[in-house]
């Protein structure tokens, strides 16, 4: 730390390729810049720069030393930026994406309270059931249901996701009640088109995994449509409780296979790119969602 100021001056000289330009950037005199670089060379006992009246170049040792000085300068700038960002008020456009039905049922109320608290933040929400590329498409945050977040992203758990298999009483009266996952092979199952694994549902009971092959006339890429088909008695559906909760509570849908855990390990995750200097708008939104949904999400209270 003894030579830190001299190191930063040396780095600025190399960056600007001129003692005069470095002095201007540092708001000091050319003679002081030259003196600091000379003092650094004397302290190290090496020559860092070859300089003549017309040119300047790095020595081999100077080039290697500059790389270390540059990293230190970047860390100092980053430290100052961190302080500024922590003090800054959340503002700007927050771009996020969420599954369609979660956005309409649960995210919209959370957005309303967030925007009242942070009036300088604008929201751009893309409700989509497809997996978007945060880098390529320029999103700040994605909400996804997953049991294996991408390794190149930071994942913050938002809430557990319980999956329930269910059908309407009318459907069960016509076709009977399945008692085991294998019984589903003889039923009309409403399936999500575009799911990672097509043609089977996953259950665990007693430490054993069961993946029955399921069939049905409807394959739909929208959870709201699947829900409506189930309510209309068109088949059996497996969906998260954040979709089914009110209908299970009202009796319009009846839970099946309660002793089997469907899609274990799934949770709602908030995904964002790794960045040690997270923007205040993103940090504020993440904290807001965690506080809004709490340790026990409201959709599981049925």
Question: What is the pLDDT at residue 79?
Answer: 81
pLDDT on residue 266 = 84
| Alpha-carbon distances of 50 from 38, 39, 56, 61, 293, rounded to whole Å | 12, 15, 6, 11, 63
Contact call for residues 214 and 185 (beta carbons, < 8 A): yes
Q: Quick one: which of 241, 260, 231 has its CA closest to 169?
A: 231
Fold of 4-74: Arc Repressor Mutant, subunit A (1.10.10)
Task: Report the CATH fold assignment for 163-262.
Answer: D-Maltodextrin-Binding Protein; domain 2 (3.40.190)
Q: What is the pLDDT of residue 255?
A: 96
pLDDT digits over 29-38, tens only? Answer: 999 999 999 9
Question: Environment class of residue 241 by beta-carbon count within 10 Å: exposed (0-12), middle (13-18) or buried (19+)?
Answer: buried
What is the predicted pLDDT for the residue at 169?
A: 97
Q: CA torsion 186→189→194→199, rounded to 10°?
A: -10
pLDDT at 301: 66
Q: Quick check: do 92-161+266-300 and 163-262 share a fold? A: yes
What is the tens place of the pLDDT at every residue in 200-225?
899 998 889 999 999 889 998 888 89
Q: What pLDDT score does 75 carry? A: 87
Judge whether 92 and 234 are in contact, CB under 8 Å.
no
Residue among 102, 155, 107 at smallest CA distance from 292: 107
Instruction: Please report the sign of the dihedral spanned by the C-alpha atoms of residue 102, residue 289, residue 116, residue 120.
Output: negative
Structure tokens at 217: 């006339």
Full DSSP string of 282-301: HHHHHHHHHHHH-SS-GGG-
pLDDT beneath 70: ranges in the chain: 1-2, 83, 85-87, 194-198, 276-277, 301-302
Orientation angle between helical segments 280-293 and 108-117, nearest 10 degrees? 130
Give the β-pairing of 141-146 and 203-205.
unpaired
- Looking at residue 267, its pLDDT comes to 86
CATH of domain 92-161+266-300: 3.40.190.10
Assigned token pair, 295: 């340790």
Domain locations in the chain?
4-74, 92-161+266-300, 163-262
């Amino acid at each position: 730390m003894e030579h830190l100021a001299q190191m930063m001056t040396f780095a600025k000289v190399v960056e600007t390729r001129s003692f005069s330009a470095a002095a201007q950037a540092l708001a000091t005199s050319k003679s002081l810049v030259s003196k600091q670089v000379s003092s650094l060379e004397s302290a190290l006992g090496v020559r860092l720069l070859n300089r003549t009246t017309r040119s300047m170049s790095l020595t081999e040792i100077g080039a290697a030393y500059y790389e270390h000085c540059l990293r230190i300068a970047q860390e100092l700038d980053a430290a100052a930026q961190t302080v500024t960002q922590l003090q800054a008020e959340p503002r700007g456009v927050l771009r996020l994406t969420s599954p369609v039905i979660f956005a309409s049922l649960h995210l919209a109320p959370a957005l309303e309270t967030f925007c009242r608290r942070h009036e300088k933040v604008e929201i751009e929400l893309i409700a989509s059931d497809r997996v978007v590329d945060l880098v390529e498409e320029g999103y700040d945050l994605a909400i996804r249901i997953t049991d294996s977040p991408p390794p190149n992203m930071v994942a913050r758990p938002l809430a557990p996701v319980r999956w329930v298999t269910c059908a309407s009483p009318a459907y069960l009266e016509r076709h009977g009640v399945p008692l085991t996952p294998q019984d589903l092979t003889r039923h009309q199952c409403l399936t999500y088109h575009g799911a990672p694994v097509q043609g089977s549902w996953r259950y665990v009971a007693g430490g054993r995994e069961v993946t029955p092959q399921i069939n049905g006339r409807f394959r739909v890429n929208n959870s709201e449509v699947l829900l409506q088909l189930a309510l209309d008695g068109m088949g059996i559906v497996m969906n998260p409780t954040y979709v089914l909760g009110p209908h299970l509570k009202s009796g319009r849908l009846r839970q099946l296979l309660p002793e089997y855990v469907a899609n274990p390990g799934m949770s709602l995750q908030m995904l964002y790119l790794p960045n040690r200097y997270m923007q205040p708008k993103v940090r504020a939104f993440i904290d807001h969602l965690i506080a809004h949904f709490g340790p026990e999400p409201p959709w599981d209270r049925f």
